[in-house]
Amino acid sequence: KQEVTQIPAALSVPEGENLVLNCSFTDSAIYNLQWFRQDPGKGLTSLLLIQSSQREQTSGRLNASLDKSSGRSTLYIAASQPGDSATYLCAVSFSGSARQLTFGSGTQLTVLP
Amino acid sequence: ETGVTQTPRHLVMGMTNKKSLKCEQHLGHNAMYWYKQSAKKPLELMFVYNFKEQTENNSVPSRFSPECPNSSHLFLHLHTLQPEDSALYLCASSQDLPGANYGYTFGSGTRLTVV
């Protein structure tokens, strides 16, 4: 069964700290991996999309890496701010799944002022 | 707004009611999806449409009935729901064609409460 796991489930850090969120997946045959942010009770906002041929993507203070062979991705957030507080979701499009997304359970991030 | 619009934002319905959720995308995408997000559970794929044709029904009970009249609009018709169907229902779209990046865009969701 193709699964996506995110660790930790929750994380609390002081403002200004650099942090890393982890995502692992069970099958290295993927189309792409996408990181989303979800605020409480709201929809998903796409942060970064990494194609299977890419190793990383960057947007502002965010950097996402992809290591297909080990089935891992990390989302690095630099100089965290209270406004970064949200749930971060990792989603993988596995090959053979008609490019449908399989989601992890998310990491709930709290950045303390 | 992300380019995917869902209405209503909130819905409370009784178990004998019939209601519909609406999703509209203005991104020119050809694929649209319904996801269900329950408390403490990962997002669950419900239905997939590609060029108006349903390509996936993820063992969803028949009390949920999707409709896709064109590539820009997607509906989820609800009838005789159960309290455990209360959840956030999310619509998404993507460009599922060779050469596209296949990235998903999500709407803001409909918070459904069944009483």
Q: Encoding tokens for residue A24?
A: 């692992």
**Is B103 close to A49, i.e. CB distance below 8 A?**
yes
Are the C-beta atoms of residues A110 and A11 closer than 8 Å to each other?
yes
Mutation test of the interface with chain B: which of A33, A100, A102, A107, choosing the one with the most B Cβ atoms within 10 A? A100
**Is A46 close to B109, i.e. CB distance below 8 A?**
no
**pLDDT digit string, tens, across residues A30-72:** 989 999 999 988 899 999 999 999 999 999 999 999 999 999 9
What values do phi and psi take at B28, rounded to 5? Answer: 75, 15
Instruction: Provide the 8-state DSSP code for B41.
Output: S
A67 CB neighbour count, 10 Å cutoff: 13
Q: How many CB pairs under 8 A join A and B?
A: 59
Q: What mean pLDDT, rounded, does chain A reach?
A: 93
Residue of chain B minimizing CA distance to A31? B102
- State whether residue B107 is helix, strand or coil: coil
pLDDT reported for residue B1: 61
Q: C-alpha angle B22/B102/A68, rounded to 5°?
A: 130
Model confidence at B33, pLDDT cuts 50, 70, 90, reads very high
Q: Specify the higher pLDDT residue, B57 or A107.
A: A107
Which of A24-33, A40-49, B5-14 holds the top average pLDDT? Answer: B5-14
- pLDDT(B35) > 90: yes
pLDDT reported for residue B99: 67
pLDDT reported for residue B24: 97
pLDDT reported for residue B80: 93
Max CA distance (Å), chain A:
44
Mutation test of the interface with chain A: which of B43, B54, B93, B95, choosing the one with the most A Cβ atoms within 10 A? B43
Are the C-beta atoms of residues A36 and A89 closer than 8 Å to each other?
yes
**Is A101 close to B45, i.e. CB distance below 8 A?**
yes
Counting Cβ atoms within 10 Å, is residue A102 exposed (0-12), middle (13-18) or buried (19+)?
A: buried
Residues of B in contact with A91 (CB under 8 A): 43, 104
**pLDDT digit string, tens, across residues B51-106:** 878 877 788 999 999 999 998 999 999 999 999 999 999 999 998 776 677 789 99
Chain B stretch 58-87, residues whose beta carbon is closer than 8 A to a beta carbon of chain A: none
d(CA B4, CA B109): 10
Taking residues A68-97, what's their average pLDDT?
Answer: 94
B106 touching A (Cβ < 8 Å): yes
